[in-house]
Chains A and B, each alone.
Chain A
Amino acid sequence: MISCTEFIPAYSELFKYLEKKRGKTAVVDFWNYLSDIYLTNLKDFIAENGIRGCWIYWSTTLEEEAADFSMELDEEAGEFYITMHRCPSKGRLLEYKHILPYPDYCEHCDMLYRRVLEPLGYTYDLDRSQTDQARCRLSIKVIKN
């Protein structure tokens, strides 16, 4: 059995495998597939709770992933932010001495969640400028008419 604590390197190696086998398009196709088949709970939380659904979803997943983060919800303004001080996934990949992360590893976070949120009427902005230090900032906002 592969433990869930060993998943992140398995994920990164899967992206590498797909790219080597079929090119970057295959990696993106896989991310789209995962978004559609796996993130149904995020979609349901948002459909039921509006932008608070983001808070409900990420407060569980980030605690289970033992992330080092700050999260902010302003329902009146329709805004939700995550400041990732140390991403548990990218952080782990950077710590390993014997394997290199997939070069575009952090792009999956941008693709998977954007695909759920934008059709529901939210902007999705992920600042990936510091992912080489396992840091990023996510901003989700309600699109106001």
Chain B
Amino acid sequence: MPKQTMTRKSSDNPYLHKDFHILLNHGIDYLHKNIGEEAVREYLTQFASAYYSPFKRDIKNKGLLAIKEHYERIYEIEGALFDINFSQDELIIHLQASPAVMHIKAKGHPVSELYRETVATVIKTICQDTTYDSEMLEYHEDNGAYRIRFFRRKK
């Protein structure tokens, strides 16, 4: 059998490794079962505060439009079906099925009981120290579908 070689440049392929959803799910599950429920929220808060700090700056500058653009961008990358109702003081996002949850299940991995915190804790954290707040209106464990609402805080 001759030697086989393969060479690729990063520009040869799109960056979309959906199995990363499975790894995050295992991370959430590991924290939950080994350290506790609060550790999941604490970790996600740490991650979201650090990683989304430029996004939080955008929210302060552009308001709800920044949030709308962020979710549109990631849903389009993931090929998600969604709809958005956007006004000056309120943004409602409806994700019809989570590509993350669907991928985790399709690959035969159980979805962590606290996987919803990747939505609930993250939306709370990105709104911290801004003039906006958020709430989760619906979450469906079976496919990860959700409706989330962002709105201007009352003074």
List residues of chain A with CB under 8 Å of any chain B CB. Answer: 1-11, 13-14, 16-18, 21-22, 26, 29-30, 33-34, 37-38, 55, 59, 61-76, 86, 88, 98-99
Contacts and interface: CB of A to CB of B under 8 A. Distances in A.
Interface string B74-108: 11011010000000000000010011100000000
Contacts, number: 138
Contacts of B122: 2
Given A7-B20, A63-B8, A68-B8, A98 B54 contact: yes
Contacts of A62: 8
A64 B27 contact: no
A33 B26 contact: yes
B39 A21 contact: yes
13 contacts: A1-B75, A4-B19, A4-B21, A10-B24, A11-B27, A17-B31, A33-B26, A55-B4, A66-B10, A75-B4, A88-B15, A98-B53, A99-B50
A137 to B, nearest CB: 14
Contacts of B16: 4-5, 64
A13 B5 contact: no
Nearest to A74: B3
Interface in B1-57: 1, 3-24, 26-27, 30-31, 34-35, 39, 42-43, 46-47, 50-51, 53-54
Contacts of B34: 26, 29
Nearest to A96: B51
Contacts of A30: 27, 30
B6 A9 contact: no
A76 B4 CA distance: 11
B83 to A, nearest CB: 15
Contacts of B8: 62-63, 67-69
Contact of B144 (A1, A29, A33, A38): A1
A35 to B, nearest CB: 11
Chain B interface: which size bin? 35 or more
B51 A5 contact: no
A2 B13 contact: no
B30 A72 contact: no
B10 A73 contact: no
B23 A34 contact: yes
A95 to B, nearest CB: 12
A58 B77 CA distance: 23
Contacts of A55: 4
Q: Which of B5, B6, B19 has the most CB of A within 10 A?
A: B6
Given A70-B5, A73-B3, A34 B14 contact: no
B118 interface: yes
Nearest to A91: B10
B1 A75 contact: yes
